[in-house]
Chains A and B, each alone.
Chain A
Amino acid sequence: MITRPATYWTVLFISLQERLVYRGEFAMSTLMRFLPIITQIFLWQAIFSAIEVERGSETIAGYTFHGMIAYYLLTTISRAFSSMPGLASGIARDIRDGTVKKFLIQPIDMVSFLLVRRLAHKLVYYMVALGPFALVFFLFRGFFEGWPEPHVFAGFVLSLLLAFLLGFFLEATLGMIGFWFLEVTSLMFVYMLLNFFFSGHMFPIDLLPGIWGDLVRLLPLQYLAYFPAAVFLGRVSGPALAAGLATQFAWVVFFAVAARVAFHFGVRRYSGFGG
């Protein structure tokens, strides 16, 4: 690519400013994101109290009550990195209304451009969200068993960064489907549902019994929410951790390539139709 780094700085800066305009909504939506967790805490408290009384057990699939809540809190961090609201639908819209053409004319690579923009969005989000996140984790510190060992924490951070990249390239690839099908909204909704349930956002995927669990573990979705949280909690360690990170990285590479390939063929098809 011939684009100078300075161009990307400008993109970054303008995007930062653009995002800050939507003030109140920002802070509000960040805080509200934790509201469902409160319900989850009470739900699981009720469930754990019931199994203790009825079955005399204190764990579900290896999770204690505290471990379960810590897991949910950690998945909010994973999601803060991996969720890409509006990315795929935005790409599909750009393709539909022809905005995508500007990337064919201007000397800037669309995938990189979107990545930098998304980075800006995320940076602004973290700036605003850091406060609420710190507050929530401080309030709920009782659910954690202290900080993990340095190398585990390093693995956690690495898996978060990879989760960001995976989330980005996966959604970008989905958005490229817009080159072939004009209406992708329904497809996006299905993806959102699958993501919600099988990334580990709704419940730890180890809860899934038998074949279901095996199937879900084959999908890349678990690396968007479940995997970083599991690393932090020490449920994945040693060789499994290394293998997990390697698999996550492999998925990132796969979708990074897939997004570009899809773009390449999509554009060819697009210009073939005369745009």
Chain B
Amino acid sequence: MAVIETDQLAKSYRVYRKKEGLGASLAGLFRREYREVEAVRGIDLRVEEGEFVAFLGPNGAGKTTTLKLLSGVITPTAGTARVLGHVPWRRENAYRRRFALVMGQKNQLWWDLPAAESFRLHQEIYCIERDRFGQTCHELCEMLGVEHLLGQPVRELSLGERMRMELIAALLHSPEVLFLDEPTIGLDVVAQHTIQQFLREYQRLRRVTILLTSHYMRDVAALCRRVVIIAAGRIIYDGPLDGITGHFSGQKIVSLQLADGEMPTGLERLGEVLESRPPKVRICVPRGEVTRVLTHIFAHCAVQDVSVEDPPLDAVIAEVFSRS
């Protein structure tokens, strides 16, 4: 049985259109104009138990809205969803006890108190047995290396430390499904890496189902095999990470190491020349043309080494986003 299943899930908002200028501000006293924003327009998704799925998409594509719909924070305008067999927006306690949501840009810990106090509150709210709570807390703290910070007020922690505490707070009740909304946003590379490592390790041990949104390709590449790309509220790709390049990019990159420093002529007719610093040359070629191009090059120049690669993931994603 699928852990997450949605059918034509959609959400639209009514937004107040604000105008500039003194006159418009005055007019705004009496009348306001609204427009509909369709944040999510019909999403069909099926996630199996133990999957680690990345949600990618430009800002405003509907990633966060989808996560909020699945966690029951907001109610959809159309469509259905089931997570662990529950309809999320009914907000049944039985469901809320089984998942967690972590948002990189919002924090739930008590700002002025040590994180341990917030954890204890979670223990009460989620009815976690004392022994079990102590053990889970200890293990999570150890994995994230924050045990020594438990007694410090949250406001005195660094962003990275705070994010780790947020993760612990979300995991104390051992959720079966975890929604992560940009958990590494704003963190430096080292802190990002710590959280990635932790998530991978945690998922390996617990086999929880995880949905992750992130802006950092590094997160995605390190953690998820399956990627869902959302643009303008629709899923435009759903499949393995490696497939993105094949799916979206009809291009291959041919890198050449020439035997002599002499630059062959007519390369620009074969494809887009990305780099031409003899003896190194890189050309971007349509996928179907690779054989023809290579034949042509071998016929005309002395080549020491050659490689044919997919364009880097970041570049592909950027291209996909700019197209949508």
- A and B, direct touch (CB closer than 8 Å): yes
- Identify the A interface with B (CB < 8 A): 13, 16-17, 20-21, 23-24, 27
Contact with A along B22-51 (1 / 0, CB 8 A): 100110110000000000000000000000
- How far, in whole Å, are A27 and B25 apart by their CA atoms in the complex? 14
Q: Do residues A23 and B22 form an inter-chain contact, with CB atoms below 8 A?
A: no
Q: Are B29 and A16 in contact (CB under 8 A)?
A: no
**Considering the chains assembled together, what is the distance between the CA atoms of A24 and B32 in angstroms?**
12
CA distance A20 to B22 in the complex (A): 8
Enumerate 16 A-B pairs (CB-CB under 8 Å) in ascending A order: A13-B22, A16-B22, A17-B21, A17-B22, A17-B25, A20-B22, A20-B25, A20-B26, A20-B29, A21-B25, A21-B28, A23-B25, A23-B28, A23-B29, A24-B29, A27-B29
CB nearest neighbor in A for B29: A23
3 A-B pairs with least C-beta separation: A20-B25, A23-B29, A17-B22
Please give the distance in Å from B48's CB to the nearest CB on chain A. Answer: 50
Q: How far is the CB of B24 from chain A (nearest CB, A)?
A: 10
Which of chain B's residues have a CB closer than 8 A to the CB of A24? 29
> Taking each of A13, A21, A24, A27, which has the highest tally of chain B beta carbons within 10 Å of its own beta carbon?
A21
A102–B26 Cα gap in the complex (Å)? 30
Q: How far is the CB of B33 from chain A (nearest CB, A)?
A: 14
How far, in Å, is B202 (CB) from chain A's closest CB?
40
Q: Which residue of B lies closest to A18 (CB)?
A: B25
How many Å lie between the Cα of A17 and that of B26 in the bound state? 9
B30 → A minimal CB distance (Å) = 9
CB distance from A21 to the nearest CB of B (A): 6
Nearest neighbor of B26 in chain A, beta-carbon distance = A20
Residues of chain A with a CB closer than 8 A to B28's CB: 21, 23
- Contact residues in B for A27 (Cβ distance below 8 Å): 29
Q: How far is the CA of A13 from the CA of B22 in the complex (A)?
A: 9
Q: List the A residue with the shortest CB-CB distance to B30.
A: A23
| New A-B contacts (5) at CB < 8 Å, excluding given A17-B22, A24-B29 | A16-B22, A20-B29, A21-B28, A23-B25, A27-B29
**Bound Cα distance A20, B29 (Å):** 8
Residues in B whose Cβ lies below 8 Å from that of A21: 25, 28
In the assembly, what is the distance between CA of A86 and CA of B58, in Å? Answer: 41
Residues of A within 8 A of B25 (CB): 17, 20-21, 23
Q: In the complex, what residues of A have CB within 8 A of residue B22's CB?
A: 13, 16-17, 20
How far apart sit A179 and B29, CA to CA, in the bound complex (Å)? Answer: 39
Write out the residue numbers on chain A whose beta carbons fall within 8 Å of the beta carbon of B29: 20, 23-24, 27
**Chain B nearest CB: distance from A17 CB in Å?**
5
Cα–Cα, bound, A13→B29 (Å): 18
Instruction: Give Cα distance in the complex from A17 to B22, angstroms.
Output: 5
How far apart are A10's CB and chain B's nearest CB, in angstroms?
13
CA of A27 to CA of B22, assembled, Å: 17
Q: Measured between alpha carbons, how far is A30 from B21 in the docked complex, in Å?
A: 24
Q: In whole angstroms, what is the CA distance A21 to B21 when docked?
A: 10
Complex CA gap A23/B29 in Å reads 5
Least Cβ distance of A20 to chain B in Å?
4
Q: In the complex, A42 Cα to B309 Cα: how many Å?
A: 86
A17 CA to B23 CA, complexed, in Å: 9
Contacts of A17 in B (CB 8 A): 21-22, 25
Q: Please, how many angstroms separate the alpha-carbon atoms of A109 and B26 in the complex?
A: 30
C-alpha gap A222/B119 in the complex (Å):
53
Instruction: Please report the C-alpha to C-alpha distance between residue A32 and residue B25 in the assembled complex, in whole angstroms.
Output: 23
Q: How far apart sit A17 and B25, CA to CA, in the bound complex (Å)?
A: 7
Central interface residue in A13, A16, A20, A27, by most chain B CB within 10 Å: A20
In the bound complex, residues from chain B placing their C-beta under 8 Å from that of A20 are: 22, 25-26, 29
Distance in angstroms between the alpha carbons of A166 and B25 in the assembled complex: 31
List of B residues within 8 angstroms of A13 by Cβ: 22
CB nearest to A21 among chain B residues: B25
CB under 8 Å from chain A, chain B span 1-34: 21-22, 25-26, 28-29
Cα of A20 to Cα of B28 in the assembled complex, Å = 9
How many angstroms between the C-alpha atoms of A24 and B28 in the bound complex?
Answer: 10
- From B28, which residue of chain A is reached at the shortest CB distance? A23
Nearest-CB distance from B18 to chain A (Å)? 9
Within 8 A of A (CB), among B226-283: none
Task: Name the CB-closest residue of A to B25.
Answer: A20
